Amino acid sequence: MPTQAAPGVIITDQDAAISKGISMIMPFTLHRFCLWHILNKFSEKMDVVSFNDQYHSLVNIIKQSESPAEFEQHWTEVMETTELGNNEWLSNMYEIRSRWVPAYVKHVFAAGMTSSQRSESGHSFLKKYVDKKNSLTDFITRFNRALAHQRHAELVANHIDINEKPRVSSASMMENQMLQIYTKKIFLLFQKEIEQSHFYTCSKRTSSDDVKVYTVQRFEPGNSFDRQRQVTYCTSSDCISCSCRMFDFDGYPCRHMICYMKIKQVMILPDKYIIRRWTKHAKQAPVFDQMTGLSVDNSSGQSLMSRHGMLAHAASELVDDASLTDARSTFLLGEFQSLRIRVKDIDSGDDIGMSRNKTREETRVIRDPNPVRAKGCGKRLKSGKEKALSQSSRQCRACGNSGHDKRTCPTLQNRLDNTLPLQYPHNAPDPHYPHDAPNPQYSYDMSDDRFTSIDNSNYNAAAEFFSNQYPFP
């Protein structure tokens, strides 16, 4: 019977709300921070000189340390020999090192994941099919299309695992054993560990009644020994563990454990070191009802993936036998056509029976939900220059006061509201205007937007003067 167990590990970014919720709802779940997001912040939180000089050494310390003591020792040496000890952000990250440094979390199985790239890749996959502008009905159609493509890719991968066999690199019985059990992707990773195990030597270090410790290290001709790993064998539980924690973290044995097994003449990998998650038959499990908790018979007791693989394997063997002669091929083609019609009749009969039971009262209208504000939306973030411009007080060029500009100046508006007397030409002497010409008086009316003459007699005299001096042709 299945249990509503919480996951063993959850990887998120450094979100305070998510951290609080996980600690309250799932207190026994290991909550880790995304290592990729943290390493990307090093360039922002460190000065340029320190980043160029110490970034790669810090990354090596974080990723290559296999124990908390080793990480703390190397981290402290770098902080003391450089000026990074005064960096407040690095000090804060060191305080929460048990949440993101691999050496502190490798004891929990996480399928080799150190970042939240799985969820990010899921977001990227869905963005290829759906958009925020889609209606609800359009979203359902697009989502079903994406799900169908994803299931098709999974069927293709399952077909490859069943029908395609990678090449073995040696005559090892363990390699041939896992070729039949592991999926293709995991087998290639395990095969690499077997190949590398040939370059390692194993020697006993300490021994007691219950625990035996062995030293495993790499040796190449002409080079010195590589880093030492400790393989521990517990006689009471009959279990092997390695200091690199690869089996605990990734889920398949490391090269150091395989090297120890070869020394002890272990030719077949024990079942305790085979995680069902990485096997070809990982999905062949009983289906349980969520309400009753009882096993449900799903016609064959197998999932869609296993049924497809079983039928594909049977059909492949049948085609191989029938393709030997023309008579067998002709007979099998005819049987395939008749079987196809019979299989379609089975599904169509069920669909017709279900369609007759439908009534118009069962039809429901589904409308789009009310739009809601997504997390993170709001006002646009302003740059430092925009904030400085918005905080600075602007002054009007007309009156010199702040709070408005020349277009909305109240003083200038009051002046223009009244009629302003104008004199043309100006009092200053104008060399282009004849000195003996009459000088008319004008005024500007804001309501009519035009100039009007104050002295009509003087205006008529000026007009007559200019018409005599400059007659039209």
Taking CB atoms within 8 Å and a gap of at least 24, the contacts of 35-40 are: 35/62, 35/100, 35/102, 35/114, 35/115, 36/114, 36/115, 36/116, 36/117, 37/13, 37/115, 37/116, 38/14, 38/93, 38/100
Q: pLDDT band at 347, cuts 50/70/90?
A: low
What is the helix (H) or strand (E) element at residue 166, kind and residue range? none
Percentage of the chain beyond pLDDT 70 is 70
Q: pLDDT band at 333, cuts 50/70/90?
A: confident
Backbone angle region of 470, left / alpha / beta, with phi > 0 → left and psi within -120 to 50 → alpha: beta
How far, in Å, CA of 273 to CA of 186, rounded?
14
pLDDT at residue 71 in the model: 92
pLDDT at residue 187 in the model: 92
Q: pLDDT band at 46, cuts 50/70/90?
A: confident
For 230-253, the pLDDT digits (tens) are 999 998 888 999 999 999 999 999
Confirm if 69 and 150 have CB atoms less than 8 A apart. Answer: no
pLDDT at residue 389 in the model: 58
pLDDT at residue 52 in the model: 82
Which pair of tokens denotes residue 3? 């249990």
Residue the block writes with tokens 């390699």: 175
Average pLDDT score over the chain: 77
The number of beta carbons lying within 10 Å of the beta carbon of residue 278 is 20
Global pTM reads: 0.59
- The lowest-confidence range among 16-20, 420-424, 433-437, 462-466 is 420-424
Domain extent listing, the chain: 9-107, 129-163, 173-278, 303-345, 403-469
How far, in Å, CA of 86 to CA of 90, rounded?
8
Q: Is the confidence at residue 337, as pLDDT, over 70?
A: yes
| Closest by Cα among 50, 136, 127 to 85 | 50
Cα distances (Å, whole numbers) of residue 122 to 6, 125, 132, 146, 278: 21, 5, 16, 11, 20
How far, in Å, CA of 152 to CA of 149, rounded?
5
Q: How many H-runs (helices) and E-runs (strands) does the chain carry?
A: 18, 11
